Amino acid sequence: MKEALYYEKLDELKVKCNLCHHHCLIAPGKRGLCGVRENREGTLYSLVYNKPCSYHVDPIEKKPLYHFFPGSSAFSIATVGCNFRCLHCQNHEISQMPKEEKSIFGYELTPEQVVDMAIRLKCKSISYTYTEPTVFFEYAFDIAKIAKEKGLFNNFVTNGYIEKEPLKDISPYLDGANIDLKSFSDEFYKKICGAKLNSVLETIKLYKKLGIWIEITTLIIPGLNDKEEELRMIARFIREELGKETPWHVTAFYPTYRLLDRPRTSAKILREARNIGIEEGIMYVYEGNIPGGEGENTYCYRCGKLIIGRFGFSITEYHVKDGCCEFCKAKIDGVGL
């Protein structure tokens, strides 16, 4: 165990966690909503420090991050726990384990060992992913600092519910993030995820303000968040608040966990969502989870030519040099292109 950061001690040995927007008030012997931060006699502890439940080498495109060292490998790591309870979570076995099974599973792996493994496996970056990195913040923070010293890059794959202070503190070490914007409906966030939309929007804007490269992902769930009006609101938020150069990934839903009554997302729906993003002025809009379509590729916004071809998580052709389109020399936005 490790004493948690970002909490305050209250009367009667209670504590208030200020790591994320839930601001859990935790009585002695109890845990926060994430299931991995426990109050022991008035001190809040992280139960997952040095305890990854999963680590793997992934293509960076799997995150998905398409404008962050394309074609590189990311050492991907997670612990159990999450501060959301999404009904459609594809990793619910580990994200919800502390709450549903009342258990904490993990290997023993120090931050130094994580960085050493990433270097040995020739990864360009470390990705804090699979579950929500906010809930293992202390572990991620220590890894990220060492990684940066050793020349590695860091990225979060996140639900965007971290509070301002921890995000500002880790920002010098955090180079990129893929942030879920699951819907533009507060009702969706409350019912499907157990969270609030506005908190996510404010956090996304802070990522941008702090200079962290961000890409946005929206999982399109038929009948829940696939209406044209809502998709246009998401696209306009991206363009107006984050900049038209911010990539938007619209990805296909597959029935899972507790959301089994919805059909999988069709290629037609994804294509329509991508077209909405393009019509609203976003320069890079991608389709995900259905390999083989043109929506996986990056096209130059100036000359229109294909500059990064993809199939699934693989790069099939690459026409970017020194961050510019090889054909017309337009600057292509991102990190490490």
Give pLDDT tens digits for 165-204. Answer: 999 999 999 999 999 999 999 999 999 999 999 999 999 9
Integer-rounded Cα Rg, in Å, for the chain is 20
The pLDDT > 90 percentage for the chain reads: 99
Average pLDDT on 119-125 reads 98
Cα 329 from Cα 321, distance rounded (Å): 9
> Quick one: pLDDT at residue 33?
97
> Quick one: pLDDT at residue 208?
98
Confidence check: pLDDT of 1 > 90: no
In the sheet with 176-180, reading across from the earlier edge strand, the strands are: 54-59, 73-78, 125-128, 153-158, 176-180, 213-220, 248-252, 285-288
Instruction: Name the residue with tokens 């009554």.
Output: 261
SS3 at position 79 = coil
The DSSP result for 123-142, as a single string, is: -SEEEE-SS-GGGGHHHHHH
Cβ burial 270-287 (10 Å sphere, 16+ → b, else e) = bbebbebbbebebbbbbb
Average pLDDT on 237-266 reads 97
Instruction: Please provide the average confidence, as pLDDT, over all residues in the chain.
Output: 97
List Cβ neighbours of 1 (8 Å cut-off, separation of 6 or more). 45, 46, 47, 49
What digits encode the pLDDT tens for the residues 15-64?
999 999 999 999 999 999 999 999 999 999 999 999 999 999 999 999 99
CA distances 19 to 8, 81, 335, Å, are 11, 14, 28
The DSSP result for 138-172, as a single string, is: HHHHHHHHHHHHTT-EEEEEE-S-B-HHHHHHHGG
Residue 316 main-chain phi, psi, to 5 deg: -100, -25
- Per DSSP, 332 falls in state P
End-to-end CA separation in angstroms for the chain: 39
Decide if 138 contacts 49 (C-beta within 8 A): yes
Instruction: Name the residue with tokens 């793997």.
Output: 56
Domain 54-290 listed as CATH 3.20.20.70: yes
Decide if 63 contacts 127 (C-beta within 8 A): yes
Confidence check: pLDDT of 70 > 90: yes
- Per DSSP, 295 falls in state G
Q: How many secondary structure helices (H) and strands (E) does the chain include?
A: 9, 19
* Side chain identity at residue 281, one-letter code: G
Decide if 8 contacts 18 (C-beta within 8 A): yes
Query: Any alpha helices (H) in 191-266, and if so which ranges?
Result: 197-209, 228-237
- Chain region(s) in the chain for CATH 3.20.20.70: 54-290
> Quick one: pLDDT at residue 293?
86
Cα 69 from Cα 79, distance rounded (Å): 25
The pLDDT > 70 percentage for the chain reads: 100
Confidence check: pLDDT of 163 > 90: yes
